[in-house]
Structure 1
Amino acid sequence: MWPTNHVSRRRVLSASGVAAATALAGCASILNQVADQFLEDVNVLNDTDSEVSGTVLVTTDEKTVLDREFTLSGADDTDSGDNGNIRPYADIWDSAGSYTAEIRLDDLVDGESTGSATVTIDDPDEEMLLVGLGLQDADEPIVFRVGTTFTDVVEET
């Protein structure tokens, strides 16, 4: 014998929506936990299909805190060897304040080979800078984003 309790279509859709939202929120949380294991103060991310090389420079009024060359694989390159498509740099923020970040590329990314921004770091222990090259959701080919989690810096806010 079948139960006589009736579950309406509206209730099923509502429950499905809540379950989907919970799952997505959980995915973002898991993604941030995983990303937190390898992201550092400054992270250069190549989201293009091609290998990209260049230099990243971060300065304060007083000194240069980062000046490094890099080579990053394309985002879809499965045979990237040691390069990968993201390069993290640790122990950059000396203190809260303004920093100037600059990137110089050996080749063009969507018509651009340089970019710079002044970023404010309020919490040096928690905040990170992402220098994104060819990010899919960005209006510009080179973007600078500050946040406390991976999803903060990869998603347009």
Structure 2
Amino acid sequence: MRRQPVSRRQLLGLCGGAITAAVTGCAGVVNRIADQLLEDVNVLNDTDQQQSGTVRVAADGETLLDREFTLNSASGNDENANVGTYADVWTDGGSYEAEVTLQEPIDGEASGSKTITIDNPDEEMLLVGLGLQEAEQPIVFRVGTSFTDVVEG
């Protein structure tokens, strides 16, 4: 099931909270807030352009998620989302194939894929980062149990 997109205001508030938490050592507060916004699979557009594409997750030959998305730029001044969230993807712990295909490449990359391992489906999430500033690749896949796990890589 897909929840409503995370609004830019919600994400900026969360990121602002993350920065404050990092300075003050309150990452737990930020992670509790993020748990209310993020789901099993999250696609974050950190580029200065709108990004459209498809996110897919499969396990044992069965497609568990196959959704198109359009995410606004991270630098936009509107209320529209630059994060897509997708719930109820993980069925059990195990290996999953995650794939993103973009309509327009980022730094020459129009797709990415990774086999990820989910040990605790009730706690772990996947972040697919598009153009994350601190990442070495234009498309990254990060698994963690908290917002700070997946953002910091």
What range is the shorter-chain TM-score in? 0.7 to 0.9
Runs of 4+ in 1 over 4 A off after TM superposition: 20-23
CA-atom RMSD in angstroms:
1.7
CA apart distance, 1:153: 0.2
CA apart distance, 1:24: 2.5
Q: Which amino acid aligns with 2:50?
A: E
Higher Rg: 1
> What TM-score, normalized to structure 1?
0.81
2:24 maps to which residue?
24
Match of 2:120 among 123, 136, 152: 123
**Does the 8 Å CA contact 1:73/1:80 hold for their aligned counterparts?**
no
1:78 maps to which residue?
77
Unaligned runs of 5+ residues in structure 1 are 1-19
Equivalent residue pairs, number: 134
1:113 and 2:82 are equivalent in the alignment: no
1:43 maps to which residue?
42
Higher relative contact order (CA 8 A, sep 6+): 2
Return the alpha-carbon distance in structure 2 between the equivalents of residues 31 and 126 of structure 1. Answer: 16
> Any idea what the Cα deviations from partners look like across 1:95-136, whole Å, max 9, x if unmatched?
000000000000011211000000000000000000000011
Identical counterparts, % of pairs: 60
> Any idea what the Cα deviations from partners look like across 1:75-114, whole Å, max 9, x if unmatched?
1112243xx1000000000000000000000001121100
**Does the 8 Å CA contact 2:56/2:67 hold for their aligned counterparts?**
yes
Q: Which amino acid aligns with 2:125?
A: M
> Any idea what the Cα deviations from partners look like across 1:31-55, whole Å, max 9, x if unmatched?
2121111100000000001100000
> What TM-score, normalized to structure 2?
0.83
